[in-house]
Amino acid sequence: MSIARRSWLLALLVAACISPFVAAQETKSDVKPEIKPNDAVVPAPRDAGWMKRHDSFNERVKKGNVDLLLIGDSITQGWEGAGKKVWEEFYTKRNAVNLGIGGDRTQHVLWRLDHGNIDGITPKAAVLMIGTNNSGSNSSEQIAEGVKAIVDKLKQKLPETKILILAIFPRGASKEDTKRKVNEGANALIARLADDKQVFYLDIGQKFLTDDGSLSKEIMPDLLHLNEKSYRIWAESTEEKVSQLMGEKK
């Protein structure tokens, strides 16, 4: 076989090997990355224990006499524990109902609102604080979308109720905490939901922090959940606004 023919066959072989690779690369580059749906806005229930507490809320609201709602996750549920004494002082007289469940994310609250938690009642005001449990898996934008979906649902089902959105509370020891930063980004977007007619926004986060942005275990023992001292900070810092939204005379 001549040298020229051998060179030609070699070139042909190399081309045959390279072509599929090039084609695969071109095909791969044409494939658009999958965009995952924002689960923070997709209503979802949880386990049996969660459902039991959810059902207890439905039984309570069926009895009526609900003038104030507090809606959220374990931080709100904690009014029944570390915050119990403060709750009795500030909220029992207001016919308040605690709609907080530990571990809840925005999508779980959405599901609850569609399955009885606010049916048949017309509270004067509702205080909402939710989203910190989303901060490990959702972006600030996604969390804000989840909160917006909740607010829209409250407006739809409780058109006469004033809604007070609380900024997601600070967490972690310092302002460099990753999840705290996610929450802060969400808060900046959540603030835009206020129309100062039916929906209001209040950020009391600084009340829990030192001047340099540190969070003390004396305020939140695990740097997330509240104790009696911090529940009092919550109640006192929101008292004026809650009273105003409930139409109380001072």
Domain locations in the chain? 1-28, 42-245
Alpha-carbon distance of 154 to 138, in angstroms, equals 22
- Tens-digit pLDDT profile for the chain (250 aa)? 555 555 545 555 544 544 444 444 444 445 555 667 899 999 999 999 999 999 999 999 999 999 999 999 999 999 999 999 999 999 999 999 999 999 999 999 999 999 999 999 999 999 999 999 999 999 999 999 999 999 999 999 999 999 999 999 999 999 999 999 999 999 999 999 999 999 999 999 999 999 999 999 999 999 999 999 999 999 999 999 999 999 996 5
The active-site residue, picked from 30, 196, 211, 222, is 222
| Amino acid occupying residue 24 | A
CA torsion sign, 210 to 213 to 218 to 219? positive
Beta pairing class for 125-129 and 162-166: parallel
Residue 91: CB partners within 8 Å, gap ≥ 6?
68, 70, 79, 235
Closest CA to 190 of 180, 203, 172, 178: 203
- Tell me if residue 73 is catalytic: no
The active-site residue, picked from 73, 104, 225, 230, is 225
The active-site residue, picked from 74, 139, 216, 237, is 74
pLDDT at 250: 58
Which pTM value belongs to this model?
A: 0.86
Q: Decide if 159 contacts 133 (C-beta within 8 A).
A: no
pLDDT at 37: 86
pLDDT at 28: 46
Task: For 52-80, give the secondary structure using H, E and C.
Answer: HHHHHHHHHHHCCCCCEEEEECHHHHHHH
Per CATH, the number for 42-245 is 3.40.50.1110
- Tell me if residue 67 is catalytic: no
Percent of the chain with pLDDT over 70: 85
Alpha-carbon distance of 69 to 76, in angstroms, equals 10
- Tell me if residue 74 is catalytic: yes
